Amino acid sequence: MASHGSPFWQASLFFLAVLFIIWELWAGWRRGVVRGGIHFFAFVLSGVVGFLAGQVAAAVVERLVPGFGLMAGLLLGSFLTLALLALTLILGAILFKRTGQQPSAMLRFVFGLGGSFFGLLTAMFILWGGISIIRSFGAIAESSVSGPAEVPAIAKGLVTLKESLELGAPGEVVKTVDAVPPQTYELIVRVGRLIHDQDAMTRLLDFPGVQEIMANPRMAALVNDPEVATAAERRDLFTLIRNPKMIAAATDPELSKLLMNLDLQKALDYALPPAQTSPTPESRQ
């Protein structure tokens, strides 16, 4: 697949990052060292709590409703992150004074300098998380862009931002500092391609480990349930979660063991084999 990366967009992203750092330095000076420290730790704490909660939610929902785990994790993680962040920032603003509210010039200088330090830390932390967000959403969009059907402009834009961020030597630095392992992005892209490729889905069902899962009585009952099929087609998560057969499958220890033991990478290799290139006239001779 041809690269959608652009040096212009890479330079634009880095320029916006520099502007954001300058803004946070100035905003940190105005907040002061106490508010600035609370501001920084609020972002860190809310980000960590949201990430962990999203991971747990994704794992639980994926067992209940395969294919919906990632979305559920993103929604719950984002909600908890924003709620905890807003609460902490509001409390900090109510309880502590800004730099300009300090009584002496020396105290204002110390407060402002400390606030700028925490502003810098806040900017670096947000940019660090922003790298993972851009690359994650770009990886999700990349699977749809690679398909034959027409794709929305927003999906192409996300892929352009991701691949622009990864260009050249600066892109290698971005990949190095990214907290998300590169295998995760590859997995996201491959699962997305699997969803858009009916032949690949058929091959996946022929994989021995998947066949063993599908042969489980709980899974067979789900597959043959018209209510589950209709709810899944409509993406009606509430109906799926309430379905007794879905609950029975999610709490079945034997089925859970089969799912945990499935080698997803091998299953994807089986369903999405490398493209076979046609032999050239020279190679036939």
The predicted-structure confidence for 159-189, as pLDDT tens digits, reads as follows: 888 888 888 888 888 888 887 777 777 777 7
Can you say whether the dihedral through the CA atoms of 55, 58, 64, 67 is positive or negative?
negative
235 and 264 co-located in one domain: yes
Q: How far is CA 58 from the centre of its chain?
A: 11
**CB–CB of 98/35 below 8 Å?**
yes
- Containing 202, the helix (H) or strand (E) segment is helix 198-206
Residue span of the structural domain in which 254 resides: 198-272
Q: How many residues are there in the chain?
A: 285
Q: Give the orientation angle of helix 7-31 with respect to helix 33-64, to 10 degrees.
A: 130
Residue 9 amino acid letter:
W
Instruction: Tell whether 93 is covered by a domain.
Output: yes
Q: Are residues 168 and 60 in the same domain?
A: yes
Q: What is the pLDDT of residue 212?
A: 84
Q: CB-hemisphere CA count at 13 Å for 6?
A: 11
Helix (H, G, I), strand (E, B) or coil at 180: coil
Q: Assess if residue 121 is contained within a domain.
A: yes
Angle value at C-alpha 167, between 163 and 170, nearest 5 degrees = 130
Interatomic CA distance for residues 174 and 131, integer angstroms: 7
Considering the domain architecture, whether residues 140 and 102 belong to the same structural domain is answered as: yes
> Residues 66, 204: one domain?
no
pLDDT band at 85 (very low <50, low <70, confident <90, very high): confident
Looking at 130, 159, 193, the residue that finishes a domain is 193
Average of pLDDT values for 32-59? Answer: 83
Do 85 and 112 belong together in one domain? Answer: yes
Structural domains in the chain (count): 2
Let me know whether 163 and 219 are in one domain: no
pLDDT above 70 coverage of the chain, percent: 81
Q: Is residue 2 part of a domain?
A: no
CB 156 within 8 A of CB 6: no
Query: Do 181 and 204 have their domain in common?
Result: no
pLDDT at 3: 60
Are the beta carbons of 251 and 259 closer than 8 angstroms?
A: no
Distances (CA, A) of 36 to 22, 27, 100, 104, 122: 15, 9, 13, 19, 9
Residue 18 lies inside a defined structural domain of this protein: yes
Examine the domain organization and report whether 28 and 46 are in the same domain: yes
Residues 131 and 240 in one domain: no
One domain for residues 210 and 94: no
Cα distance between residue 173 and residue 171, in whole Å: 5
Question: 211 versus 72: which is more confidently predicted?
Answer: 211
Q: Which amino acid is at 159?
A: V
Q: Do 210 and 138 fall within a single domain? A: no
Q: What is the largest CA-CA distance in the chain?
A: 88
pLDDT tens-digit profile of 109-132? 999 999 999 999 999 988 988 888
The separation between the first and the last C-alpha atoms of the chain, rounded to the nearest angstrom, is 29
Within-domain flag for 283 = no
The answer on 242 and 189 residing in a single domain is no
Establish if 232 belongs to a structural domain: yes
Mean pLDDT of 93-110: 88
Lowest mean pLDDT, pick from 33-47, 50-64, 77-91, 219-233? 50-64
Of the three residues 139, 162, 193, the one that is the final residue of a domain is 193
Closest alpha carbon to 31 in 92, 88, 87, 81? 92
In a domain, 279, yes or no: no
